[in-house]
Amino acid sequence: MSIDLAFDRQHIWHPYTSMIDPLPVYPVVAAEGCELILENSQRLVDGTASWWSAVHGYRHPVLDQAVTDQLSQMAHVMFGGITHPQAVTLCQQLLAITPPALNKVFLADSGSIAVEVAIKMALQCWQGIGHRQKTELISLRKGYHGDTFAAMAVCDPVDSMHSMFSKLLPQHHFLPAPDSPYHSEFRPESLKPLQQLLQQRHQHIAALILEPIVQGYGGMRFYHPDYLAGCRALCDEFEVLLIADEIATGFGRTGSLFACEKAKITADILCLGKALTGGYMTMAATLCTDQVALGVSQSEAGGLMHGPTFMANPLACAVANASIGLIRTGGWQAQVKAIETQLKAELAPCQASPLVKEVRVLGAIGVLEMHQAVDVAKLQQHFVGDGVWIRPFNRLIYLMPPFIISEEQISRLCWSMRRAVGV
């Protein structure tokens, strides 16, 4: 079946793209393993795992079978007043791999909605236990939490794609981005802004929301675990909830199953998504503690006021169960370690390029930060010409490949990135 690219260009809106002069798109007709297959039969090694979600690659037999088996039972059923085996099993699996204190699960239908739910949980919790004045949130500069309105309100208000909406959004508090890199010595003074803000406003602040260890769309920044541990300690001291947005970092991407493990902390509310279903279907989850759930349930509303139509979709639950089953075998640990080792070795020469500001690697994440914003269309054409799929943005060229990627495929990705920066 031929893809009508002229129709696509004229009528279909792609993410973050103008309809006046849209970026070019490439027609994918199939995918398998770690490769995308174009209409002209060209194969591209996928360096982004479909925005970090397809950790097991494409057409994985276990995941394919899970969807097929569930389809023979039911594709969807509402979750209001109904439960089903796949949802119960999924929640059991999530509780088995997350910290014991997180034992209530809300199954959402996208990462951005998981953040919306987390914010609702935090605000409603304080309402329920009589602290109605706690309505403010704290976030970090360079942070990104999604494209819906409550999520946008806790994204960096200036240096982000949402700055044009800043006057329309609820106004929250923003701390300086963590400035102690992951592999450097921790600067304790970097926690001073949070400490000072909490001293002044803790009676009005409901929660601090952050991406643990890795700030994603805000610049692929890796920060020191001690900063995260310090945030947890200060939230405890001043009775403020901590929301960990692990939508991008969860399920092994950083080398730990969850990035919070690197700081040995547990959030009060945890957001998961992306790799939850192995990239097969849209699904997310928001987990919280008993204390948060009790506060929410004691509020005037009497329950969490959120209920997506496709919440706990059985097909998505089934493939999420299969994906978590693969994760729980532990094979990802060796895969991610091998990816990290190879990325460090093969991206290191890029530091010699005058175009490159910094090369950094953590787990199955490799980043070239450039001095200037890149020409996305031009670079995309270069990468496709080299037989790879790498999606740069702003000043970043980065890799987040499937965990099952081969050494040869990683080398091809790194070779193309080195060519792109002239080394």
In this prediction, residue 50 carries a pLDDT of 97
Say if residue 161's pLDDT is above 70: no
Say if residue 241's pLDDT is above 90: yes
Which residues is 31 bridged to in the sheet?
36
Q: Report phi then psi at 314, rounded to 5.
A: -60, -40
Torsion angle, CA of 83/89/91/92, rounded to 10 degrees?
130
Cβ contact 401:413 at 8 Å = yes
Q: Which residues are known binding-site members for pyridoxal 5'-phosphate?
A: 111-112, 245, 308-309
- Average pLDDT for 72-101: 98
Indicate the range of 54-58, 160-164, 222-226 predicted with least confidence: 160-164
Q: Which two tokens stand for residue 36?
A: 């995308």
Q: Which two tokens stand for residue 178?
A: 């963590």
Cβ contact 107:91 at 8 Å = yes
Q: Which two tokens stand for residue 72?
A: 């023979």
Q: Which two tokens stand for residue 297?
A: 């349930």
**For residue 58, what pLDDT band results from cuts at 50, 70 and 90?**
very high
**For residue 159, what pLDDT band results from cuts at 50, 70 and 90?**
low
Q: Which residues are known binding-site members?
A: 51, 111-112, 144, 245, 274, 307-309, 391
What is this structure's pTM? 0.96
**For residue 165, what pLDDT band results from cuts at 50, 70 and 90?**
confident
**For residue 153, what pLDDT band results from cuts at 50, 70 and 90?**
confident
Show Cβ contacts of residue 408 under 8 Å, excluding neighbours closer than 6 positions: none
* 29 vs 8: CA distance, rounded Å: 15
- Digit-coded pLDDT (tens) for 330-375: 999 999 999 999 999 999 999 999 999 999 999 999 999 999 999 9
Q: Which residues are known binding-site members for substrate?
A: 51, 144, 274, 307, 391
- Average pLDDT for 14-29: 92
Q: Which two tokens stand for residue 240?
A: 């403020």
* 118 vs 270: CA distance, rounded Å: 8
How much is the mean pLDDT over the chain? 95
R_g (Cα) of the chain, nearest Å: 21
- Digit-coded pLDDT (tens) for 262-299: 999 999 999 999 999 999 999 999 999 999 999 999 99
Indicate the range of 91-100, 137-146, 223-232, 251-260 predicted with least confidence: 137-146
Catalytic residues: 16, 144, 245, 274
- Average pLDDT for 376-385: 96
